[in-house]
Structure 1
């Protein structure tokens, strides 16, 4: 009996010792395998102190400047920055309200931005496109799609999207397929598509760099290697994104090789459309050559083109026709009528011809100007800024000449709604004095 108890005690002791030995081996191995990641940043990162901008002050958009870190150190530092725990609501859908030409320019600006920033990656392109639309609605950024994408393009440093000022557009050209995919993403974004994960982010950067602006923004999400941020405080909330953008998009010279919509190669100046129309309609401004009104499509020479169009001509095709007709002329005025009985064949136009004009196009590259205007009584346009001013015929009646109170009224002059100095009555011609009557000599 004692022998059995002794044997059983020996077995228990042996099992206990084996268990302790196993724990001594397996325990440390598990600790090592599941040890927390220790981030080592070999270089101290000094960012400016974070600041929450009050609602009464529009936040400043800082130039893009990076901390001097190696990619490895930048990744290590970015891993220490926590994601915000505040709600991340999706942005509201955006629908571009401009005309077809402006939509084409906006689409190609966005396509270039997302392709050069995110590469040929649909997920990354959608994320970057949403940031661009968020900026478009935020009062701290430009009011056009192209303005947002190419903000700071004239500076070697400080542009908001680096591709626009670092020469990327000249160093690398995308394949036709990649360009088409980027245009499809851009078109969808401008037509209401929303990329929800980035919410109302207005900033992003790759995880291998650390920009100085990072300390004043909240890190909200990551898409592949890109980290997305929004301003801290009120300026990062949906209420801050209520601005209505402009609908007239500028031409971007850098995109001339990629985009038909930007072929003119000059940035449009913000010039008063009515003054441009007046210059076209009345023949003022640069010297013009007068040509007869030809049939649509006929070859034309000269800087002023007077054209008769088909009555069935589509409105959206008129600018293309004008650009083709003007060719490479640095200055070109293209005026068109659909009623050949009212079309002009010489300048200046009379009131009836100006009022009947169907379409006008003016290009002046020396001043960076290009503008198309439609007669919206003939062609419906969604944007009133594309409409010609209604030409009103005015009659100027000069006062009667003070020396001739009963003189007949002076003939009136027809104007076309353009402000001019009041007409001055011409001085009436002097009343001719009848020759003296010569008496015949007296007879001797």
Structure 2
């Protein structure tokens, strides 16, 4: 007979532990579900951007709208930008641009274009080429200014009206590119200004990053993307090659905001013309800001007593004239207003303002900065120093010529001798007994 197996009874404490574990396995997940944070699922916001109702006809110039950004998060902006399809129309390349004009005007165009490249695209050669092409497209379009600097700084006097944000958001004052990056941007600008074409952006006149949505973006044709930038042209005839028919005006304005970065906008002080017949061969003789930083503090002159913004200076004999702006920048420092007046002849330097006429005529160099009215100017005495452009020369005030004192003409041998026996009419006398002044009718002697 086989014996029957019997199990040992389960202890009470073990049953209790197992029961608590089973209860916890049911209660804890339920509590986690009930107390989980609520996640709000919302669709992407649609920005308040109106799609174009019509294409601007050829007879009507399209408006140039200021930069206004829709109030969207970066993710929402990217979603909206992705929803706009690329244009399927042809995307022909722009014609080559060839810069002309005087050397100082060309130098200002070069640095305006280089500044726009590096402040808009950063130190990225591909992005800088794209920005340069958009700016040159605008120069040729009737809706925009006809100079490079005019296009780059259009609306910069208004924080809500500028076309390129770096020109009105204080970026130029907050930071400067490294010398290597600045040299690269200038080289790219020089190539664009002398025939190099960046084909991918075609005739684009607008662009923006994909994490923002300008109000104008939905009304234009999206033609290409480069990294995080999207490029657009006007719809209809105004985005076709025949619309880009305006000539370039070779008279670039001076931009005071660029003076700390570009000597060409310090009055053209440090630009020199290249070889004859090569209008693009202009280059910096030196870096003014770098030269200013190299001037020791001991060489900085003191301000005039009673006015910390005025400096009357005797120039060092061994300093080349091209370095005078560097000395002025080092002396003025960060002053928003600064007047720097300098003489080679210390005996002509006045002790205070204003200088006399002779002292003003002997002045060798002057520099004036007034950030309140965005004015910066450096001028040389061109009777003392030869400069490449008359725009760098001080104006000479004409000296007054003293009026000549009239003297009676001496008698000549041809005058007739008085005749004897002929009585002459005596001059009429006034009541005081003085002879009356002769009149034209009585100025010729007559006889009875």
Q: Hey, what does 1:49 align to over in structure 2?
A: 53
Distance 2:115 2:176 in 1: 9
Which residue does the alignment assign to 2:392?
386
The equivalent of 1:76 in structure 2 is 83
Is it true that 1:319 corresponds to 2:325 in the alignment?
A: yes
Contact 1:147 1:250 in 2 (8 A): no
1:276-315 Cα shifts (integer Å, max 9, x gaps): xxxxxxxxxxxxxxxxxxxx94633314433333566433
What is the TM-score when the length of structure 2 is the normalising length? 0.54
Instruction: Give the drift of 1:123.
Output: 0.7
Alpha-carbon distance change, 319 to 144 in structure 1, aligned in 2, over 3 angstroms: farther
Instruction: State the alpha-carbon separation in 2 of the partners of residues 375 and 150 from structure 1.
Output: 31
**Cα distance change of structure 1 residues 94 and 204 upon mapping to structure 2, 3 Å threshold:** farther
Structure 2: where are the runs of 5+ without partners? Answer: 1-43, 267-297, 409-448
Q: Which residue of 1 is the match for residue 90 of structure 2? A: 85
Contact 2:207 2:231 in 1 (8 A): yes
Inter-CA distance 164–386: structure 2 relative to 1 (3 Å threshold): closer
Alignment partner of 2:249: what SS?
Answer: coil
- Contact persistence 1:305–1:335 (CA under 8 A): yes
**Counterpart of 1:129 in 2: which secondary structure?**
helix
Which residue of structure 2 aligns with residue 180 of structure 1? 180
Q: Tell whether 2:240 aligns with 1:233.
A: no
Deviations 1:332-381 (A, max 9, x none): 43222334565555554343333332211223455543322222333344
- Sort the Cα spacing of 1:60 and 1:183 in 2 relative to 1 into closer, same or farther, 3 A: farther
Residues of 2 paired with 1:252 and 1:71: CA distance?
A: 33
| Residue number in structure 2 paired with 1:358 | 364
* C-alpha distance in 2 between matches for 1:344 and 1:155: 40
Structure having the higher Rg: 2
Q: Give the root-mean-square deviation of aligned CA atoms.
A: 4.8
Q: Deviations along 1:15-56, whole A, 9 cap, x unmatched?
A: xxxxxxxxxxxxxxxxxxxxxxxxxx996984123434547x
Distance 1:391 1:160 in 2: 41
* Offset, 1:92: 0.5
Distance (Å, rounded) in 2 between the aligned partners of 1:46 and 1:311: 66
8 Å CA contact retained: 2:156, 2:168: yes
Change (3 A) 1:71 1:226: same
* Partner-residue secondary structure (3-state), 2:256: coil
Q: 1:371 to 1:260 in 2, by over 3 A?
A: closer
Contact residue 374 and residue 386 of structure 1 kept, 8 A: yes
Using the alignment, how far apart are the partners of 2:169 and 2:311 within structure 1?
40
Give 2:207's aligned residue. Answer: 204
Displacement after TM superposition at 1:247 (Å): 3.9
User: In 2, Cα distance between the equivalents of 1:310 and 1:167?
Assistant: 35
Gaps in structure 1 of 5+ consecutive residues: 1-40, 265-295, 407-444
1:301 to 282, 303, 326: 303
- How many residues align? The count is 319
- Other-structure match for 1:126: 129
1:105–1:249 contact (8 Å) kept in structure 2: no
Q: Structure 2 CA distance, aligned partners of 1:155 and 1:354?
A: 37
